[in-house]
Structure 1
């Protein structure tokens, strides 16, 4: 079920014949169900009416365009991968993440979603060494991201995974706050503590008008960096492209292994 403008809309499973109808047509039906004209939606998402019309006449739509379209309707986009409960990867996914068990036979893993952060969970952030090192020495106090949940509770524990060539868990920090702001404002307010060159900043945020600032504090460098091979062997760890919810076993093991880990 999904709530849209105070109305509850039932989700529907379409037959093979119905699935032949283009995605654009389904988006048009959703817009009409919301009682919105193409011009009204265009105004909400900062596009022209003809751009909305083109989306509604396409058989396929990019994820970026789809997200923008549904956000203008007041909805959020969620795309899931559905695994059979007997799949060998299901147990690993369930252990590492909070995922939705829809029945005894099916598990849903979110591929793309804008949902509230899973409270009470630690996260692992993959960070390039040139940015993780200044975090650990206290020079860099914010991490800039194209996308990150803004509802993260203050005090959430972050494990810092330094990517290649280090490829190791190197430290921890606490999230002091998360802010989603326009890129111009982000540069003005945080460039001095982000330890990034303007050219690299512009290249990283290409195509976006705003980004996310993760404010970090209570930083601790691990007494012993834990390399990728050991992380894989002990925790079946796979480095995330951006961030991932931490396996509870990881924190429990590190608590007993390193006196530098904050409690």
Structure 2
């Protein structure tokens, strides 16, 4: 396994991704990562835990004003909220994801800190394969 992408996401959107209702995550900025990359989902406050993984199918960049027209069905966010989030951004990155794997036992923030000595990212960070193995053994038991 190559390195994984570790992203923070609001609980509502993390659930939507893991339930398969949200297949595109919109970001203001994002690095280019290859298709097939594992994406580790950290559900932010109040949940504060790693809740599962998805596989990156494709990334694309586009002008923020095109996102709603082209992807409104896949992003599971209201048009007004999307506009507020992307306000002032020159570009946006769309992460098309597949193969959602919710974890029966999420890995809480305290355990994440103890196991890896890392904080959840503001937006994203990378995890090496060993880090992914450690957190997967501590949580997972995918549904």
Q: Does 1:202 align with 2:83?
A: yes
The equivalent position to 1:135 in structure 2, one of 6, 11, 17, is 17
User: Offset at 1:254?
Assistant: 3.9
Correspondence 1:217 to 2:117: no
Over the residues paired in the alignment, what is the CA RMSD in angstroms? Answer: 1.8
Choose the corresponding residue for 2:60, options 176, 179, 186. 179
TM-score relative to the length of structure 1: 0.51
> Which of the pair has the greater relative contact order for Cα pairs under 8 Å at 6+ separation?
2
Secondary structure at the counterpart of residue 229 of structure 1: helix
**Aligned pairs, number:** 142
- The answer to whether the 8 A contact 2:2-2:128 is kept is no
User: Which has the greater radius of gyration?
Assistant: 1
Partner residue in 2 for 1:250: 131
Alpha-carbon distance in 1 for matches of 2:137, 2:45: 27
| Unpaired segments ≥5 residues, structure 2 | none
CA distance in 2, matches of 1:202, 1:256: 39
Partner of 2:4: 122
**C-alpha distance in structure 2 between counterparts of 1:244 and 1:230, whole Å:** 18
Q: Which is richer in strand? A: 2
Q: TM-score, normalised by structure 2?
A: 0.91
In the alignment, the residues of structure 2 paired with residue 234 and residue 207 of structure 1 have an alpha-carbon distance, to the nearest angstrom, of 38
User: How many angstroms does 1:203 deviate by?
Assistant: 1.0
Structure 1 Cα separation of the partners of residues 91 and 126 of structure 2: 24
User: Partners of 2:114 and 2:137 in 1: how far apart?
Assistant: 18
Instruction: Give the superposition deviation at 1:247.
Output: 4.0
Tell me whether 1:144 sits opposite 2:36 in the alignment: no
Q: Distance in 2 between matches of 1:158 and 1:239?
A: 13
Structure 1: give runs of 5+ residues left out of the alignment: 1-118
| Cα displacement (A) at 1:216 | 0.4
